[in-house]
Amino acid sequence: MTPRANHLYSNGPDIQRAFGVDSLPLTIVAHIISYLEDDIASLARLCRTSRVLLYMTLPHLWKNVRLKSYRAIRYKDDLPEGFGGASPFAMGLNTLLNRNVSRLVHQLSLEGEFGVGDVDEYAKAGRVPEGAMILNIAIRAALEQCTQLRSLRWDLNVRRQPNVYASLATLPMLESLWLRFPNNRSPQPLVEAPALPNLKSLTITHYDPLCSPDDLANLFFHATNLNTLNLHFSPRMREQGETSVMITQFFRKNIAAKRKLRLRKIGLYNLLPYIDMPECLEALDPTVCEDFTALNTFGMDEDQLGGRHHATHFIDRAWMVPLEANSRPKNPKSLRLDQLHKRHALDLGASAGLERLYLINARYRSEGADGAVHSTPNSTGTSPRHPNNTSSVTQTARNTPSPSTNLRDLYIDNICNVCGPTLKHLILPARWLLPTAVTARLIRACPNLTQLSAAIQCADYDVLRILVPFLSKLWAIRVLAPYGDIECPEDRDRVGTTQKQQPWRNAAIDLTDCGQQERITQVLGRSLGGAENDFPKLRYIGLGNNVFKVGGVVEEVVRLPAHTTLQDWYGDCDGTQRAVEGDDGTNGTTANGWREEVVRTRLVERVTEEEVKDVEIWKMDSMDVI
């Protein structure tokens, strides 16, 4: 049998000329279409091209469905969305119910705000809102037809009714579930979540014990395959210092049956619980945890406690207890924290094998009704305890290393001594300005870094030229703008007095956008020289809020004075004397004393942050549930 006679590699007579190329195999077409799953517009156009492409593209078009509801009518080009029909959210549900596409859906996301009327008025009458009940009925009907559903995200502001939970129990392939809880305190019926034994990932958001949340104990008891758990609580409890959350309520059936959950990934957000650590250890096996996230959970940073609101201080300190050696994770891989604390720094000393460390800069900021920020944990303002108009107080303070410097050094020591050889991703706080010596030590201890985000001290771009080539695996680097009380031990002489102040801004970041691109191009070109293996994997460079994408190596003709070397020209060039050819089209020294030389450089272009939204050093540096 020849390859052309095999139906896997050739097209039958009924579909010849369907693609414009008679001999294009269907397997290649299917492979190309598989790369368009995130491009909905292209998939829709392919569906309208021919009947064959419709059949091949339709499963990809309906694989991931995202429906978002809005309270108000939105307009586009002076026309309301859904003009002549219903809202896009309602029409999407109608399509799942009435067309034969529901079995193609693998991931379904329901998001937004859905108007259900006055919930408080219905609660006074002892009834569930009509709009909420009708919506639950429609969603249940749609879920029953999505027999291949693997992931469901319920991010609606509407309370789930028992009929929706009943439909979830009939989905045999459901592995990932995202549940958003309402924030309305009106009394509503309590619903017990059903058993989902095949569930592998569960995310709970906006959980508030005073808003009649659903009972999830039965779900946790039967979720024997669960390995990812994210618990996002309403920030109201932490703002008010209310310890109304009891973690044991989630796992009470597991504790009674002595059945432990073996979770590999745990995320805690805005948690202020009643202290029940021993009981939690009876329901969870911490030794198998590989990925741990805790944001707005352990309180303020240890070095920024002065003059702040401490309503939760005693509760937060109760969690700062050392774990026994047999209760520590045996194979930690990822750690994501927003709080800087000595206890956390010491725990890094027992985290050999860590691959991803994210000490993020994002902080939760609570806003009052008037829009004023009531709590800014990352505020850079001067503390009232340390006025800056008294020279004697300032001089005394400078003679002693600041708490931020001591805490930074403790973290750096444990990173370099324990986690360095295996570390691949690293985010350090922007208020830790890293001198060149500290940066060099960090890079020598972490040779396998692929992504790095830190406030690196550099008066010019030479630090990038010197340090970055040592990281042969580096794929993305982000130089943060330093802020806060910047102080380094290198600023002191032998008697402890301050010699100079560190720059508050990075010289590389202060340049204009155009200047940055030209200067980065010069540095990369100078570092490359004639070698082809320098910067082999570098793709993204972040300078403050600007992001640059590094492309391939190109040859460029530069025009410089006859008695000037290429190295001197790079040092003096302002970015305007770039590739030109002589008037006579020849190389070498021209009649006017200029010569032309071919150099190798890298293509550099400025991109938006949207392009790097999935790069970890940008993606993880937020308060988002990930």
pLDDT of 309 > 70? The answer is no
Q: Domain tally for the chain? A: 1
Residue 42, domain member (yes or no) = yes
- What is the rounded CA–CA span in Å between residue 159 and residue 188? 9
Question: What percent of the chain is predicted at pLDDT more than 90?
Answer: 37
HSE, side-chain direction, 13 A CA sphere, residue 615? 26
Residue 43, domain member (yes or no) = yes
Residue 94, domain member (yes or no) = no
What average pLDDT does this structure show over 563-584?
51
CB 543 within 8 A of CB 516: yes
Q: What is the pLDDT of residues 67-91, one digit of tens each?
A: 999 988 889 888 888 888 889 999 9
Q: What is the pLDDT of residue 59?
A: 92
Residue 204, domain member (yes or no) = no
Q: What is the pLDDT of residues 50-63, one digit of tens each?
A: 888 889 999 999 99
CB 222 within 8 A of CB 199: no
- What is the rounded CA–CA span in Å between residue 357 and residue 568? 40
Q: What is the pTM of this model?
A: 0.82
Domain span including residue 49:
1-61
Residue 336, domain member (yes or no) = no
Q: What is the pLDDT of residue 394?
A: 43
Residue 284 CB coordination number (10 Å): 21
Measured distance between the N- and C-terminal CA atoms of the chain, rounded to whole angstroms: 51
Residue 29, domain member (yes or no) = yes
* 333 three-class SS: coil
* 625 three-class SS: coil
* 249 three-class SS: helix
* 558 three-class SS: strand
Residue 8, domain member (yes or no) = yes
Residue 388 CB coordination number (10 Å): 10
Q: Can you spell out the DSSP letters for 231-276?
A: EEE-THHHHHT---B-GGGTSHHHHHHT--B--SEEEEES--B---
CB 56 within 8 A of CB 62: no
- What is the rounded CA–CA span in Å between residue 453 and residue 619? 12
Residue 100 burial by Cβ neighbours in a 10 Å radius (0-12, 13-18, 19+): exposed
